[in-house]
């Protein structure tokens, strides 16, 4: 069940027009991964945009539509939950649930049961509703 399909599609359409942002010189050295790092040197060609053919810099203008910010690919909003009280504030029709890192298994089981009962979309359950680890 995907909601906000139009917003997700619009975000994807905007993303298709953006360049691939790769780490400077990552194509030159095997030891450098391609994940983005901002060029910070005083004479860095890419930072200065001196020569043609260099990949573009990440800038705010490449961002997606504001209406699609914070949406999970399923279309639900992504909300951190640490206890059952946090769950009470959310709407199951539009809000998804992601458990905080510090939530332990015992409390996580309680929240999962309550979330399934209220029909929430859970992104990182790590425990089944029956109580056995999965």
Please tell me the pTM assigned to this model. 0.72
Alpha carbon distance, N-terminus to C-terminus of the chain: 23
Q: 35-77 pLDDT, tens per residue?
A: 999 999 999 888 888 877 888 889 999 999 999 998 999 999 9
Furthest-apart CA pair in the chain: how many Å?
A: 60
Task: Give residue 133's pLDDT.
Answer: 53
Mean pLDDT, rounded, of the chain: 90
Quote the CA–CA distance of 78 and 67 in Å, as a whole number. Answer: 14
Per the model's pLDDT, the better-predicted residue between 33 and 3 turns out to be: 33
- List the 121-122 sheet strands across, edge first: 77-81, 95-99, 121-122
Kind and range of the H or E element at 79?
strand 77-81
> What region, left, alpha or beta, does residue 5 occupy, with left being phi > 0 and alpha being psi -120 to 50 degrees?
alpha
Task: Give residue 130's pLDDT.
Answer: 66
Task: Give residue 127's pLDDT.
Answer: 75
Read off the pLDDT band of 124 (50, 70, 90).
very high
Quote the CA–CA distance of 17 and 12 in Å, as a whole number. Answer: 9
Task: Give residue 132's pLDDT.
Answer: 54
Task: Give residue 49's pLDDT.
Answer: 84
Q: 70-96 pLDDT, tens per residue?
A: 899 999 999 999 999 999 999 999 999
Quote the CA–CA distance of 65 and 46 in Å, as a whole number. Answer: 27
């Amino acid at each position: 069940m995907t909601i906000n399909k139009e917003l997700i599609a619009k975000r994807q359409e905007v993303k298709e027009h953006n360049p691939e942002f790769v780490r400077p010189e990552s194509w030159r050295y095997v030891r450098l991964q391609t994940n983005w790092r901002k060029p910070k040197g005083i004479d860095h060609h890419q930072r200065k945009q001196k020569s043609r053919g260099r990949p573009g810099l990440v800038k705010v203008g490449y961002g997606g539509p504001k209406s699609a910010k914070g949406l999970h690919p399923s279309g639900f909003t992504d909300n951190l939950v640490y206890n059952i009280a946090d769950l009470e504030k959310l709407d199951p029709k539009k809000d998804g649930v992601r458990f905080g890192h510090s939530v332990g298994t015992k409390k996580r089981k309680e929240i999962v049961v309550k979330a399934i009962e209220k029909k929430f979309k859970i992104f990182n359950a790590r425990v089944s509703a029956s109580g056995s680890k999965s």
